[in-house]
Structures are given as C-alpha cells and as structure tokens.
Amino acid sequence: MEDRIDNFNADKSCAQQDGKPIEQNSNILEELNDLNQKIANSNYKPYKKSTYWHQQNTTMDEVKQETQQKELMECLLRIEAKLAKIENLLEKKKFRLW
C-alpha cells in the first residue's frame, strides 16, 4: 500500500511543463463549481440569440423578390416576342420555298 502512495507522490512530483512543476487540484468538482459560478455571475454570453427564420424582417427581401420577378417576366416577354417573330419569318420562308 505504501508503494502505491509513494508511486503516486513520485508521479505527482514528476509532472512538469517547461521545467516548472504543474500544480494539480485534487478536487475537480470544486473547480468546476467555481467555474460555473463565474460564468453564471458574469455578463459574458457565449452566444447571441437570433431570430428564427419566420420572425425575420422580410419586407426588403419581398421588395427585392418582387422587382426580380418583374424583371424576369419582362425578359420572358421579350424572348417570347422574338421567338414569335422568328416563327413568322420561318413560316414566310417556307411559303416562298414551296
């Protein structure tokens, strides 16, 4: 039994970092409780609560989306008009060839 205690003390005394002995707390639970109290008493917030996706301000997004939809519709109408002209020209050429 004494050998185990001696080995533990030897291991404890041998623990060093950068040539300096490391102080080890024997009671980890006390250290955790102290840390939890410090966190609870401080004003530090590890994260910031944000709004959920359905609570976000969407008025600007809706306006942008509406303008994009209008631009897209105008572009599609121009494409449709050009395709109609091409179709008419092809029909005229077809009649000329026959």
Per-residue model confidence as pLDDT tens digits over 59-90: 777 888 899 999 999 999 999 999 999 999 99
Residue 46 falls within a domain, yes or no? no
- What is the distance between the alpha carbons of residues 26 and 11, in angstroms, rounded to a whole number? 14
Confirm whether 77 is domain-assigned: yes
Other Cβ atoms less than 10 A from the Cβ of 70: the count is: 10
Report residue 84 as tokens: 């109609």
Range of the structural domain that residue 77 is part of: 60-98
Residue 75 lies in a domain: yes
27 found inside a domain? no
Position 87 in a domain = yes
Whether the pLDDT of residue 55 is over 80: the answer is no
Task: Count up the domains in the chain and report the number.
Answer: 1
What does the pLDDT read at residue 85?
96
pLDDT reading at 43 higher than 60: yes
pLDDT at 69: 95
Q: What integer best gives the mean pLDDT of the chain? A: 74
In this prediction the pTM is 0.38
- Would residue 86 count as lying in a domain? yes
